[in-house]
Structure 1
Amino acid sequence: MIARTLRRTPPMVWTALIVSMAMISIAMPAEAQGLPALSLTQPGGENGEVTYSLTLQVLALMTVLTVLPSIVLGMSAFTRIIIVLSILRQALGTQQTPPNQVLVAVALFLSFFVMQPVLTELYDTSLSPYLDGNMPATTALESGSKIVSEYLMGNTRQNDLLMFSELSGEGPYASPEDVPLSVLLPAYITSELKTAFQIGFLLFLPFLVIDMVIASILMALGMMMLSPMLVSLPFKLLLFVLVDGWALTMGSLASSFMGG
């Protein structure tokens, strides 16, 4: 029953659990995992007292869970997608439409779509053998980290990677497999920010042209008291709908990931 429940758990959840296990194994030696960090004794029970203990392993897991969302989102396609969608909303001039909750939901589901090949490979090569007892935990963590590193490396700019490797003082590296996550992760996030702003700039240009044309027309007609943003909004929405802007934006974002 437990094994079937574990196998039915979504791969994204297992990715988060694998990252948590990796951080715990790094931050805490194996011989200290069962060491009680907190004990509480109260009267009662057969021997006259009841003892509750909290191990360091559980304490470390609770600590990792507080930063786990940032870790998972920073290692996925979410950063690029949410930035592009936010810039697109600002270019349209629709204020809070779509609302933040909708943008986050769209970015999250599109991230699942982009990361699906990586998550499937992670589940088939690392998690499933570990749950079946055919692979030890350390080997599963090493295999999973290699898969994640391949995705991060495939979507990281070489200049950003060289910059952080020089800052760390550990480079140059003989092969991409030798790059540690401590260098690869900041390089990946920096590269994602740059790519997101480049895509956002290209999306912003046509709407900027419409704003400039409308402002020039209003100026020529002497309607200086009328807001150009208010007049240009329906034209921008019309253009966006006619070219099927949402489908084009989603498709372009999904295809921009080489590792997806």
Structure 2
Amino acid sequence: MKRLLLFATLVISSSLAAPAFAAAPEAASPEVVRTGLMLTLLAFVPAIIVSMTSFIRIAIVLAMVRHAFGMPETPPNMVLVSLALLLTSFVMAPTFASVNEGALKPFLAGEISVDAAMEAGAAPLRDFMLAQTRDEDLASIYAMSGAEPPATPAEVDLFKLAPAFILNELRVSFTIGFVILLPFLLIELVVASILLSLGMMMVPPATISLPIKLLMFVVIDGWALVIEGVVGSFR
């Protein structure tokens, strides 16, 4: 399973960083095996994108922006997911390029074995996740598993690093979400107080606050600020 996930990472990097492959030579057994293996491992691409890339933080922050307006269906899920995927490819481009150059291309050229490709492809992905993960989260995961903490970053198990990485991504995305939600909450409170003072208790505050929030967000170019903030939060 570990090898399957790592090799699927190589497939992602190929699609984002590598040019189209040259026409394959006449049918050769190793090439057929490699092609069949890559096609099979494509099923693991969604799991890797969700658990080992910047997609988690970006998707959660964008969803919180939508809920801050009180419009759970606008923008549609397809729009937010597409934007999150594009931003993820932007953030992860250096990592995928390293995987492509160090593991995928040599493997497809027959210069290295599968095991060597796995190790070479895992290193850039491990470095990215370690840069975002707190030592406390990683130590907690190792403590729960009963395993000894690694002595060096290269010894960190990806299947223990991934949960620690996800915990950190959830923490950071909720922190960013709090900063985003606070101004909208203040607008809601001000509008509710004004309506109450005018005796308009039957008017839902959201009816008045929604246009105000939209206007404020457009004036300050909110989407650009949110995207710059969440992309800039990656180390």
> Please, what TM-score do these two structures have when normalized by structure 1?
0.74
The equivalent residue for 1:160 is: 137
The equivalent residue for 1:12 is: 12
How is 1:144-223 mapped onto 2 (pairs within 5 angstroms)?
Answer: 144-223=121-200
Q: 1:172: Cα distance to partner? A: 2.3
Which structure ranks higher in relative contact order (CA pairs < 8 Å, sequence separation ≥ 6)? 2
Higher strand share: 1
One-letter identity of the residue aligned with 2:193: S
Q: Determine which structure has more spread, i.e. the larger CA radius of gyration.
A: 1
> Please, what TM-score do these two structures have when normalized by structure 2?
0.82
**Kindly, what percent of the aligned residue pairs are identical?**
43
How is 1:1-260 mapped onto 2 (pairs within 5 angstroms)?
Answer: 12=12, 14=14, 62=40, 66-258=43-235
Q: 1:127: Cα distance to partner? A: 1.2
The equivalent residue for 1:27 is: none
Q: What is the CA–CA distance in structure 1 between the aligned matches of 2:138 and 2:171, rounded to whole Å?
A: 13
Q: What is the CA–CA distance in structure 1 between the aligned matches of 2:154 and 2:42, rounded to whole Å?
A: 28
8 A contact 1:85–1:103 mirrored in 2: yes
Q: 1:135: Cα distance to partner? A: 2.4
Unaligned runs of 5+ in 2: 1-9, 17-32
Deviations 1:78-136 (CA, angstroms, capped at 9, x unpaired): 11111111111000122311011101111011101110111111111111222233322
Higher helix share: 2
Query: After the TM superposition, which parts of structure 1 deviate over 6 Å for at least 4 consecutive aligned residues?
Result: none
One-letter identity of the residue aligned with 1:230: T
Q: Secondary structure at the match of 1:127?
A: helix
Q: What is the CA–CA distance in structure 1 between the aligned matches of 2:228 and 2:45, rounded to whole Å?
A: 28
Q: 1:146: Cα distance to partner? A: 1.1
8 A contact 1:130–1:137 mirrored in 2: yes
Unaligned runs of 5+ in 1: 1-9, 17-54
